Structures are given as structure tokens and as C-alpha cells.
Structure 1
Amino acid sequence: MDGGARGRLRPPRVAVPAPHAEDGTVRVNDARLLILQFVVAVALVALSVQLVRMHLVDLPVAPPGTDALSVRTIPIEAPRGLVLDRDGEVLARNVPLFTVAVVPGELPADDAGRRAALLDVEQHTGVPLRSLERAMTTGLATIDPLVPVEVHRGFGLQDAIALRAALAATPGVVVETRAMRLYGGGDLLGHVLGHVGPIPAESAEEYLAAGYRLNERVGQSGVEAVYESELRGQLGHRVVLADPTGREVEHVSQVDAVAGADLVLSIDVDLQRATAEALERGLDTGFEAALSREVRHDEPIERIGAAVVIDVRSGELLAVVSSPSYDANTFSGLDPTADTVALLTDEARPLVHRAYQEVRAPGSIFKPLVGAAALQEGIATPLTQIRSTGSLTVRSIYDPDVTYVFKDWTEHGVLDFYGGLVRSSDVYYYYLSGGYDDPDGTSFEGLGVERIAQYVRQFGLGAPTGLDLPGEAGGLVPDSAWKEATYGEPWVLGDTYTLGIGQGYLTVTPLQMAVAAAAIANGGEVLVPRVARGFRVGENVELLPREVAGLLPIDAEHLEVVREAMKRTADGPLGTARRGEPEGITIGGKTGTAEFGPQHPDDEFDTHGWFIAFAPYDEPEIALAVYLNHGSGALDAAPVAHDIFHAYFNPPTSQVGTLASPDSTGGAP
């Protein structure tokens, strides 16, 4: 399979999107099974709702004429759209949920009557009176007192029947059937899926203007927030006559709700799982190596990392993993639990996705970008030879008696462009980035900080990529103006040297480096990455348009040289990326080991482990980036990439229902 097509065969799943049709849509395989699944789900939910109506609504009513009847408009909640992976695996669905809600504006006006009503609720639900009183006087209750405020949820049908009977005479209290969001996959997709929750009080006016009712639950993070308007659907309502206690007496009219659209993600759950497992193995080795250092003196070690897999042709993210992670179901309750408090206070900050919300120095995975710029500017050719004696010594421009030594990681001897990348020589890239005046009188012109900054920004560094998830960090591409404005100091040659090897002030996200690797692989297109593939409409998936952020200002022949150098880095006998190449597949890769933190007594630093790569070499399909907070690019991060490539090119057989959640036949509340 070396360099050829991957032959990625997978037995059909239920609701698996099939290859593109001629009209640009994607056909969903086995439509009859999909329709059957949907019909069964709707029938089951309809049956449960009807049972609830029989028990909770159709109770004896007041005799006609005993009291004046009033017209009430009761909203009908729209079923929120499902979220599925690219193969049709349901990742987020709706399940029926019984709740007790209090309408502050319908409580008795006098303090004694109000307190008595809330004491009834306390007696029958166990919710403390103090909590009930606080709910009636804070948040959304202060904006619209006629909006029901949920105070108790998560009980079964029999309890709902009992509560409706017990609280029937309590004014302002209703027992409702709502929809609760249920997420599959445990902590595999918590950041990507996000969660829904109550409308924040500070955003109430904005949501009201958009046609929301204030007791709706809306997307708070992840795709639930980004695609809120598509997933939400449209509320319906029914008009009824009700007696003074709020009991329905007669149905007048109804406008049905319109279900939200089903969102299909680009994520491949099988590959996401394999990527997460590979990342954990890499974190183990990097963490153990950091622990073994006797010079640490009890300094903290953070066991965190990330990995991204991107389709180099479309920009679709096939896997985007962060460790540690969290289960989105943790946020399904009304009030914070011990689990939510633990998440919010965890020093490892599991709510932060390390692939796109946190930045680090990239180290030597930055070198292919510098090399491409040097080729384009004529600073180097494939044959440009530079000798590395293990270090470079530079005299201070302010005091010639002061010298600075810039080290290589070893003495390499004479290297051409390919050898400079294969051996990841720092001295070679000191020359390309900052230039050097040799003691023998020869001079080598480097790119300089301004040209480096100009080029690497074209790769997508220094700004958010446009990912369709909230909170993306942009990182920093420094230049002389930035340093002057930030520190009040001029940019010096040493700054350029450290920038040229991916250190110093430069910071990136793993996602940005995956996008950059994809641009090298696909011939220069800088793609906008996304986790949403499209929306399911009937039997089809309407794909979102492919987005190109820009084209690299680098000639095709120069990108080919960089690709070849990355291939030699992965499959050559001296390449630092050899551990990243899987059996039978030729890749292009680059390792990075970025120093950070304080210098230890042995003059060494802790290091981040990085790896970027693309495959197959001849016809690239995917690119990836791996980041380990502690570790080596060659020893720890590269094997993670190896395992990810192996999983991609050797997919498992179909595993319908493998997510750690109840059966995924949902679709209605």
C-alpha cells in the first residue's frame, strides 16, 4: 500500500452516509432501516407522551360554569436535532424527562400563601424551601415571572402521576414533560458535542428578541452552541381553555412544532477512539520520562496533550482529541453536582481543549515552514550546504567582548537542505532564519524576522483558523514591532535564531500545525477546519461547502522539496521521524521537542513532544499533529502518530452501538 490509496473499507452501518451522489449530496445507506428506526422512535415517544397526557392532563375537571375559564397558550417544545458522526452513529439525542416547575407570577400574591405553596413543593419533591425561594427571586424569574422555573427533574412516570395529583391544588405549580439531552461516548467527545443549559439571565433580552421562551435550554458549548439555530427547530403551541387552577378543560387549536435539523459531524468515532487511546499511551511514556528526571526538585508535571487528524482535501476533522477530557452528560442536571464542581476546580483544566484552546512553542515542527519560505525567497536550494559543528557563536552588537552560543542538539557536519530537515539541525535553521557571518569572511543571508512572520502567517499561524467550535486561540507570530510594543526592546539576531527553530515568543495550537501540515501535503491550500460535515435531510446529507482560507505564496516545486525532505525524515535511516511511519505506508513527517520552563541544575529543560505528518506520501489523504506536554517528539509523540495512521488505514469492522450510552434510536423528546 506504500504511497497508494488506503482501501479504507467499512461494512455499512445503520444510517451511514454513503459516497457522494452526482447531485453533490451524500446518500444514506439502508434508508429502509433508517426510516424504520425513526418510526419506531417516534411511536415510542408518542406513546409515552400519550400515557403522560392520560395520567397528568385528563384528570377530572371542574364542572362547567363553576368558575370562569381562561384562554391559555401552551408552548410545544420542538424536538432538538440529533448529532451524528460521519458514519451515522448517534452522538446526541433527546430522551423524555419529567419535571416540576413553578410559575412565579401564578403563585399567591400574599407572603403566607406564597410560602404555603412552596412548602407544598418542598414536602413532595424534597427541594429545600430556601432553594425554591431563591429560584423565584433570581435569574430569569426576575425578567418574566410567567415563565415556568424548573425546580425538580429526573423522576419516572409513576412519580410524575403521584406528584401531579399531590400538587394539583397548589397554584403556580406544574408537572411537565420536557426533553433532556443525552450524549454518547463518555469523555471521548465532551468538548466537541458541548451541552445545553438554561438561558443565562444576562443574555435573556437577546434570546427573547430571537423568539425564544426564557425556560428553553440552549447550546452552551461545542457544536450545541455553534449550531444552536439549526438544532433548535421551531416552537409550536396549543391554545386551551383552563379553569382557575390551571387545569385544561377544552382544546381550542394547535400549531405543531418543527423539529431541528440533524447535524452530521466529520468526526469518525472509531478513529477518535483510536486517537484518544494512542494519545494516552504517548502521555504515559512522556510522563514517566519526566518523572524519572532526578533534577526536577518536585516541580509540577502536567499530564496533558492533544491530537488532531484532518482531511487534507476538505478540511474536515476526522479526530480531535484532548486529554484530560470530560463527559458532556455531567452538565445535564439542574444544579451543579460533585462531578461538575470537580471539573470546574480541577487544576488540569479538563474543560480546556488542548488542540485549539491552548498554545505552546512548537519546536522543530516549525522548521518545514521556515524551509519552505527560504526556498521561495532564494535563501536556500535543495543543494545548499551548511556545516554544523554543534553550535553557533555570535558576538553582541553592543559589546564585542560578549558572545552568545546557540547550540545544536549534536554535531552534524555538512548538511544539504534535505539533511538539515532529516537531522533537524538547529544550526542549519539558524542560518536559514537569521543568517551568519563566518569568521573566514563569508556571509550567509537569512530570511530575517519580518519575512519569517510574513510567510508563516500565510500558513495560518498567529490567528484562529476559523474552526467551528467556540474559544479557539490564535497563538502568536512575533515580529520586531510586537517586541518593541510589548517589552520596549529591539528585536535582535538571537530572537530570530530561536524563532527559526520554533522557540522563543512563538506559540501555536496543535490544530494550526495540522492545518499547516495539510497545506504542505495538498499543494498549498490552507483549509478552514471544521467538525460539522453537513445536515441530514431525509435520506441525504447536505454537505457544508469546503472553505479555503488562502493559498500559500510558495511555488509547487518548493513545496515538493519540503515534502520530500519530510518523507526522508520519516523513512530514511537517519530520520528523526522514523517511529511515526506505519508498516506499508510512506508518510512525510517532522518531530519537535520544544524546551520550556526553568533550566534545571544539569542545564537541561523540560520539553514538549510534537509530531506533524501527512499520508500517504504520493496521494495524501490526511495530516495530523500530536502534542504531549512532557516528552520527546521522536521517542514519545511519533509513536502516537504511528498508531493513529495504523488505525486510519486499518479501520475496524462495523461496531453499531459501541458508544457508552443507552440505545441511540432517539429523535423525539
Structure 2
Amino acid sequence: MYQATLKDYLRESRLFRARAITATLIILLLLLLLILHLAKLQIIDHAHFTTLSRDNRVKVEPLPPTRGLIYDRNGVILAQNLPTHSLEITPERVKDLDWTLQELGKLISISDNDRKRFNRLKSHQRRFESIPIRVQLSDEEVARFAVNRHLFPGVDIQAKLLRDYPLKDVTAHILGYVGRINKRELQTIDNSSYSGTTHIGKNGIEKYYEETLHGKVGLQQVEINALGRVIRILESKPPEPGADLHLTLDSALQRVAIESFGEESGAAVAIDPQTGDILAMVSKPGFDPNLFVEGISSADYNALQTSEEKPLFNRAIRGQYPPGSTIKPFIGLGGLESGVITATRKNYCPGFFQLPNHSHKYRDWKKAGHGAVDLYDAIAQSCDVYYYDLAQQMGIDKLAEYLAPFGFGEKTGVDITGELGGLLPAREWKRRSKNQPWYPGETLITGIGQGYFLTTPLQLASATATLASGGSRLQPRIVKSIRRNGEPDPREQPVSQQQQIARQSESHWDSIVEAMIQVTEGVRGTARLIRNEHYRIAGKTGTAQVFTIKQEEKYEEEKLEKKMRDHALFIAFAPADAPRIAVAVIVENGGHGGSVAAPIAKAIMDRYLLQDTR
């Protein structure tokens, strides 16, 4: 039998009321928490979130400074900044980089080298920094991309200044070049000073004077939209441009020096003896530094690196060669000053020299010998036997003592990177470096500038300038003056004297100069072919052996490969009575200093003394 169940309406009403109250309390609690959180956001954290909000629309951008310019002594520009456009990609804002590169290639030519450079830069730059995929775009390419820019988020055209070297190989080894900052340099530079800067000096003057040329970075606050494009500039602190450098270099003289080498390789340095100013500094062959500014291609770099002519090698400051007979005036002066010889005392040259109780013959370049010669004849005719005897009498210690003040064996301190110091051999040096004793025969060959003796063309030119000035050794310099931002005139760099060589007798120095004049004016002078009627030249020829000839062998130049022939050297200063220029020339594998190197020196001196455009 069915029995109906009655509902307890009172109980259900109480249960509903309790649930409603609980739900209301929970809602009120949650609402209170929400209100408290909103109050925290709006009141307590107001300043913090206001800053974050502003940062979403305001961006601080660095303003890279304009790099300083470089001029020669006559105002000819050697390094400048040219306006250009580059196509740049910001990886962080590109979703599909491969697709982007593929489509960009349909609009603008992008080579494999461009892609390799882009990938190399991408590997060590931060993702939010823009990276160039193409540089030096034409006006047509800029316009073509501008029409299609909306298709490529994260890609944009950037206007910039690109370093340019108008004289190319003429000044390459002196100026060096700038290049993109690499990973190693990022670890050493001050990041705040280089914010927004992509390039830095790699070698030469560009590196030595990097801090001066670079300038100081500026800043600007810009308002940007959701796409990251700048709407307006809010605040700006302009950058401070780098200083301009005015060099001692005469670019016209530099070009004459290079052209004078013809097809030969070598180096030449010309210095003003009164100031230490480097008037010309040539390393032949050279290269085009513009290739390195935005990243040289692998093919071009390999061609430079593997070339037998070594165009990247700066022979003027890094080439270390035996000075050969160009050292004889300095050793002759040491002999006079030390009282070992007199200028007029004659020695007999039979064509060879032998040490007491030794059978080995140290041969003269002239097989039949020079006969009776004094100091004047020995320098004018470059008699080796005279100097074998003089070197033996002086000994290696005294030789080194008299040569060192001229700067042999140490860096000149020139304001350029990469200089080497050469080698002035001495007893202590050999014991320390080779753990061997010094032998008498080594003293003899040092006396004619062979053996361990090594010098750079710059050292040789500096020593020649010191001789020309009567013993005042000035530090060679390339930068003559610096003009900083806001200064109306360039500020002259001081002339720095490194040493004043003590002189025992004025006549000794005069004797050496007269002997060097006989080199170019004497009937049997080894450089008599460059004698001229306009000014007198005091010079000295030299030959540096590339390999050692055995006792009974004969040197036959015409049968040797070019690279095995002797180096040709020549040093000179002029006018001899009031020197204004000192020159050192080395022609690699050139053979004879008088016929090969001396004419190059004369061409340089002619240009400077007879066609002076300063």
C-alpha cells in the first residue's frame, strides 16, 4: 500500500538560507580581496606600474657619435664617413627568418657572402639588436624595399655613415681600417661607451687613436607604437663627435714613393730630422682597406692571406731585415768616437779578412779587394774588410754600446700599432736567448750589418735622421695635431726627444757626413748615379743576404730565383749641409742598393725638396 511522504519545508528553508548566506559571504570576501588588490595596484604600486607602462611606449636609444676624420699634412682627406643605407634585420622581431631571407632575396640581391656575414654577426650579437643583411644599397633598392616594407616585420632600412678610405692602398698600412666589433672585443670594451656603435679600429692609426677618433655616445628617449616604430622624440642628449687627426704624412709624397717601387716589393720611410715627422711610410704591396669595413669576403681574404707578396704585412714597421752596409756610417762613427780609428788612417783590403790563427776567410764584396782605404773610401766604396778589422778592434760590447743610442734593437715608439723592435746582437743577448757563448767571427759579420743583426725600415730611417740632426734622436710621429669638437684650430702634438747622443768631437760627425756625401758624389761611390745639381745627398748603400754563401761558393744573382736574391738597401739625408729629410729604403730581393734602392730614395727626396707643396 502506497504511503505519501510529507516534505519538511521549514528544514529546506533553513538549509537554503544558510547556503545563501555562505555564498554571499564568499562573494563578499572575494570582492573585498579584489578591492584590496585593486587598491594595491592603484595606490600602493602606482609608481611602479606607471613606470612599466611608460616603458612600454618610451624607449631609450643610444646615439652613436660620428667618427673623427683623418687628414694629411696638406689637408687632403685620408679617412672619411660617407652616407649609405643598409638593410637590417632584428632577429627578435622576425618569426620565420628563413622565409624572410628568401623573400627579401626576391626584392634585393643578397649574395652568399652577405648571408655568411649575417650569420656570423648573429652568432655573437643580442637578438634585439639589428644586423645588416645588405650594405650600401642603391637608391633603387631602397625604394623597392620601402614599397614592400609592410610585408617584413623586423626588417628595416637604416641610414648610417660608412668609413671610407679614398686613397685605398696608398695609406692602408698607416691608417689601418675599422671593422665590426667582434666577440673578443665585446669582452674588453666599455659597453656604455660603445652603445649603438658597430665598428672599431682594428689596426694602424685607427686602432692606436681609437679613443680619440670614436667620440662619446649620446642618448634619446623616443615614443614608439605597438610595432616598435618611433612616433616622436621626447628627450635627446646629442653625441660628441670624435676628434679629427691631422697627420705629418704627405700623401703626394707617399704616392710618389709607392710608384717609385714599380713592380718591386719593399718599404720606404721618410722623416723630417728636425721634428721626427714621418713624411712618408710605404709598405709595398698594399691592399684596399675598404674591403674590411663591412666584412671582407672569404675569397678576397684568402687571396690576400695566401699571396706570396704578403700585401697585409706592414714591412715598414714589422719587416725585420739585416741592415747590411747601411750600418757602416754608425759603426765608423763609433770607431772615431772611441779612438779606435782616425778618419785618414789607411788599412789594406786584399779582398778578404782572416782572424789570427784562423783559416776561414771573411770575403769582401769586391773579390780583388779595394787596396789601401781610409774611412772615407771604406764608406764611399763600402769596403767590408775595413769594417771586419774595425769590428774586431772594437769588440761586440763596444759595437752595441755605440749603436744602441741610435735606437737599434728597440721600438721607436711611433704612434701606430704593430711595431717590432728589431735586434741589436750582444754577448749577453746571445747567452740569455740561446745559452751560447759569443764567437769572434760573429763580431766581424755584425760589423757589416749581417748575422743576428735585424732592423726595421722605420728604425733605420729614425737612426739616419738622428745622424742627420747631429745626435738628437726624436720620437717618430705620424699625428701632427688633433682638433677636438668645439675647438677652432687643431692642437699641435709635442715633439718628443728620446735622447741626445753625447759627441766626443764635432769633427768625427763631420767626417761621417763627408764620407756619406762621397757615396753619391765620389768617382767610385756606390750610389754615384743619383748625384744631382740641385742638392747634395749624404747616403749609404747596403745589401742584405737572404741566405748564407759557403766559403768557396760564388754568388751568381742571375741564376737565382727572385725570392733568393739579396735585399737592396739605401739610407740618405738631404740637403747634406742642412738636412730636411732622411730616408731609408729596402727593396726585397732587389739585389744592389746603389742601382735599385737609391733611385727610389732620390725620387722621394726630389718630390719633397724640389716640388714642395706644403
1:580 touches 1:641 (CA, 8 Å); kept in 2?
no
Report the counterpart of residue 604 of structure 1 in structure 2.
555
**RCO higher in structure (CA 8 A, sep ≥6):** 1
The answer to which of 321-330 and 143-152 deviates more is 143-152
Report the counterpart of residue 467 of structure 1 in structure 2.
414
Name the CA distance, whole Å, in 1 between partners of 2:420 and 2:112. 43
Name the CA distance, whole Å, in 1 between partners of 2:113 and 2:543. 55
Name the CA distance, whole Å, in 1 between partners of 2:90 and 2:582. 53
Equivalences for 1:300-449 in 2 at 5 Å?
303-336=264-297, 338-395=299-356, 403-410=359-366, 411-434=369-392, 446-449=393-396
Q: 1:165 to 1:275 in 2, by over 3 A?
A: same
Shift of the alpha carbon at 1:118?
A: 4.8
Equivalences for 1:180-191 in 2 at 5 Å?
180-191=162-173
Q: 1:128 to 1:652 in 2, by over 3 A?
A: closer
Match of 1:566, SS state, is: helix
Matched, 1:201 2:183: yes
Shift of the alpha carbon at 1:598?
A: 5.1
Shift of the alpha carbon at 1:478?
A: 1.3
Q: 1:581 to 1:227 in 2, by over 3 A?
A: farther
Match of 1:403, SS state, is: coil
Match of 1:223, SS state, is: helix
Report the counterpart of residue 608 of structure 2 in structure 1.
648
Name the CA distance, whole Å, in 1 between partners of 2:409 and 2:538. 24
Alignment counterpart, residue 634 of structure 1, candidates 591, 594, 601: 594
Shift of the alpha carbon at 1:556?
A: 5.0
Q: 1:210 to 1:386 in 2, by over 3 A?
A: farther
**Over aligned residue pairs, what C-alpha RMSD do you find?**
2.6
1:358 touches 1:509 (CA, 8 Å); kept in 2?
yes
Matched, 1:547 2:496: yes
* Residues 16-40 of structure 1: per-residue CA shift (max 9 Å, x gap): xxxxxxxxxxxxxxxxxxxxxxxxx
Shift of the alpha carbon at 1:653?
A: 6.5
Shift of the alpha carbon at 1:315?
A: 0.7
Letter in 2 for 1:514: A
Matched, 1:76 2:63: yes
The answer to which of 531-540 and 263-272 deviates more is 531-540
Letter in 2 for 1:471: G
Name the CA distance, whole Å, in 1 between partners of 2:246 and 2:55. 50
Report the counterpart of residue 500 of structure 1 in structure 2.
447
Report the counterpart of residue 144 of structure 1 in structure 2.
126
Match of 2:221, SS state, is: strand
Report the counterpart of residue 6 of structure 1 in structure 2.
none
Name the CA distance, whole Å, in 1 between partners of 2:291 and 2:212. 24
Shift of the alpha carbon at 1:210?
A: 6.0
TM-score in terms of structure 2 length: 0.83
Match of 1:448, SS state, is: helix
Report the counterpart of residue 154 of structure 2 in structure 1.
172
Letter in 1 for 2:183: A
Letter in 2 for 1:574: R
Match of 1:276, SS state, is: helix
Name the CA distance, whole Å, in 1 between partners of 2:195 and 2:174. 26
Shift of the alpha carbon at 1:133?
A: 9.1
2:464 touches 2:582 (CA, 8 Å); kept in 1?
yes
Name the CA distance, whole Å, in 2 between partners of 1:579 and 1:652. 23
Alignment counterpart, residue 574 of structure 2, candidates 608, 615, 618: 615
Letter in 2 for 1:473: L
Match of 2:578, SS state, is: coil
Q: 1:520 to 1:135 in 2, by over 3 A?
A: same
Name the CA distance, whole Å, in 2 between partners of 1:74 and 1:631. 60
Report the counterpart of residue 85 of structure 1 in structure 2.
72
2:62 touches 2:196 (CA, 8 Å); kept in 1?
no
Q: Where does structure 2 lack aligned partners over 5 or more consecutive residues?
A: 1-53, 557-564
The answer to which of 160-169 and 79-88 deviates more is 160-169
Aligned residues: 546
Report the counterpart of residue 44 of structure 1 in structure 2.
none
Q: 1:140 to 1:224 in 2, by over 3 A?
A: farther
Shift of the alpha carbon at 1:114?
A: 5.0
Name the CA distance, whole Å, in 1 between partners of 2:77 and 2:467. 34
1:361 touches 1:504 (CA, 8 Å); kept in 2?
yes
Report the counterpart of residue 231 of structure 1 in structure 2.
213
Letter in 2 for 1:509: T
Match of 1:322, SS state, is: strand
Shift of the alpha carbon at 1:168?
A: 3.6
2:573 touches 2:583 (CA, 8 Å); kept in 1?
yes
Match of 2:187, SS state, is: helix
Letter in 2 for 1:80: R
1:458 touches 1:550 (CA, 8 Å); kept in 2?
yes
Letter in 2 for 1:609: A
Equivalences for 1:235-250 in 2 at 5 Å?
235-250=217-232
The answer to which of 308-317 and 643-652 deviates more is 643-652
Letter in 2 for 1:611: F
The answer to which of 122-131 and 315-324 deviates more is 122-131
Alignment counterpart, residue 595 of structure 1, candidates 524, 545, 567: 545
Q: 1:134 to 1:305 in 2, by over 3 A?
A: closer
Q: 1:390 to 1:129 in 2, by over 3 A?
A: closer
Bigger Cα Rg: 2
Equivalences for 1:147-166 in 2 at 5 Å?
147-166=129-148
The answer to which of 191-200 and 118-127 deviates more is 118-127
The answer to which of 411-420 and 369-378 deviates more is 411-420
1:582 touches 1:643 (CA, 8 Å); kept in 2?
no
1:207 touches 1:214 (CA, 8 Å); kept in 2?
no
2:114 touches 2:134 (CA, 8 Å); kept in 1?
no
Match of 2:332, SS state, is: helix
Which has more helix, going by share of residues? 2
Name the CA distance, whole Å, in 1 between partners of 2:112 and 2:102. 6
1:579 touches 1:642 (CA, 8 Å); kept in 2?
no
TM-score in terms of structure 1 length: 0.77
1:582 touches 1:646 (CA, 8 Å); kept in 2?
no
Q: 1:152 to 1:367 in 2, by over 3 A?
A: same
Q: 1:572 to 1:80 in 2, by over 3 A?
A: same
2:536 touches 2:574 (CA, 8 Å); kept in 1?
yes
Name the CA distance, whole Å, in 2 between partners of 1:133 and 1:378. 67
* Residues 316-355 of structure 1: per-residue CA shift (max 9 Å, x gap): 1111111111122222334416434322221211011211
Matched, 1:480 2:427: yes
Name the CA distance, whole Å, in 2 between partners of 1:130 and 1:565. 58
Q: 1:413 to 1:572 in 2, by over 3 A?
A: same
Name the CA distance, whole Å, in 2 between partners of 1:254 and 1:214. 15
1:98 touches 1:155 (CA, 8 Å); kept in 2?
yes
Match of 1:179, SS state, is: strand
Q: Where does structure 1 lack aligned partners over 5 or more consecutive residues?
A: 1-66, 285-302, 435-445, 655-669
2:180 touches 2:294 (CA, 8 Å); kept in 1?
no
2:527 touches 2:598 (CA, 8 Å); kept in 1?
yes
Match of 2:135, SS state, is: strand
Name the CA distance, whole Å, in 2 between partners of 1:466 and 1:615. 24
Q: 1:366 to 1:210 in 2, by over 3 A?
A: farther
Report the counterpart of residue 272 of structure 1 in structure 2.
254
Match of 2:318, SS state, is: coil
Letter in 2 for 1:426: D
* Residues 452-504 of structure 1: per-residue CA shift (max 9 Å, x gap): 12221211111211111221121111122333344443211110000000011
